[in-house]
Amino acid sequence: MQRRTLTRKPPRFSANRMWRREEIEALGTTCPLMTAADILSISRNTAYEHASAGTFPVKVLKLGGRCRVVVEELLDLLYGGDDRAEVER
């Protein structure tokens, strides 16, 4: 029998969950639309309505039947410009 490697489970969606910047940055380049909706504290229906209407606050990539959000744009929306890069200079 083949052993499965354990992978990190995606975060559970919760109306009371507060996302930290480090957690958002750890998502990678893109994240599912539902993760972005959870970060922005909006409902599933609202997220999909705005994504299909083109009014979601950040760019939504529609890949087949999936919707992905660019994490960098999400960070810019929440925290403004990249303050950390300026501090490191």
For residue range 24-69, what is the model confidence (pLDDT) as tens digits? 999 999 999 999 999 999 999 999 999 999 999 999 999 888 999 9
Residue bearing the bigger pLDDT, 41 or 83: 41
pLDDT of residue 6: 58
Residue 74 CB-density burial (10 A; 0-12 exposed, 13-18 middle, 19+ buried) = buried
pLDDT of residue 15: 57
The model carries a pTM of: 0.72
**DSSP string across 11-29:** PPP-TT----HHHHHTT-S
Q: How many CB atoms lie within 10 A of CB 72?
A: 14
Query: Domains of the chain (ranges plus CATH)?
Result: 21-88 (1.10.10)
Which amino acid does the sequence have at 45?
A: N
